[in-house]
Chain A
């Protein structure tokens, strides 16, 4: 069966520091991968998605970036964190080729607090 790993679970970072969050998927090949951010009490905001190695689509202009160095690895990065980057970061995957009927499955998330 497929599993998705996301780490760390919690992270406290000072303003202006760099960020690297990692997500890996097991048990499937060539998945679609996603990064979402959820502010407290809010819905999910799609940040990036990828349909293949090196293919990244950015949804929201910001100081974050994403990379997919390997088929089942998705990394979210920032060179300088802002206070507004605080939130719950979720990685998700869906099967490829997806067609229109493939659901997304989420990792356990990283709770990021910026001080």
Chain B
């Protein structure tokens, strides 16, 4: 079945450091890919998404490119801030209508000043 694998955390960085959180997937067909973020005490929020190969999703300085050849959707940010401290989840769905999302285990990011 479909699955998502993302790098284990926690990831600890200093402010202004470069961030990469790796995410790879296994799926039949052409899934849509998502990054969700959960800030402390809050629910999951969509951070960015991509619906087809070579699409780049971006939001709040974060970017991820849908790479079909490597089945990857790595999350990057050039300069993290303390306020980026959160849990990040990579996810996929089988079609754009968004049936059940399949999530990775989540990566906890902690940014210190």
Chain B binds chain A: no
- What residues of chain B have their CB less than 8 Å away from a CB belonging to chain A? none
- What residues of chain A have their CB less than 8 Å away from a CB belonging to chain B? none
